[in-house]
């Protein structure tokens, strides 16, 4: 399913052998993060995850020309 989706979206055949052009097949998946990390470290492809970015400071400069809206309509008593 995922190989067909990659072929459809990106027009790449991930199951085509880069050496001989023959059709490959998936025999298993590795899902355990510790095993994946160990393999990638062995291949020198592992990068430690970066820390989350620091939140940006909200900067609000007062607008010198701003005049709060004023209602000149007198209050209406309801009752």
What pTM does this model have? 0.42
Q: CA 22 to CA 37: how far, in whole Å?
A: 30
Q: CA 27 to CA 24: how far, in whole Å?
A: 9
How would you write the pLDDT of the chain (79 residues) with one tens digit per residue? Answer: 778 888 888 888 889 998 999 999 989 889 999 999 999 999 999 998 889 888 777 666 666 677 777 667 667 777 6
Note whether 20 and 9 are within 8 A (CB). Answer: no
């Amino acid at each position: 399913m995922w190989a067909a989706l990659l072929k459809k979206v990106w027009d790449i055949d991930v199951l085509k052998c880069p050496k001989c052009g023959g059709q490959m097949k998936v025999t298993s998946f590795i899902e355990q993060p510790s095993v994946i990390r160990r393999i990638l470290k062995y291949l020198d492809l592992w990068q430690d995850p970066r820390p989350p970015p620091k939140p940006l400071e909200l900067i609000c400069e007062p607008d010198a020309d701003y005049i709060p809206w004023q209602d000149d309509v007198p209050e209406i008593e309801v009752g």
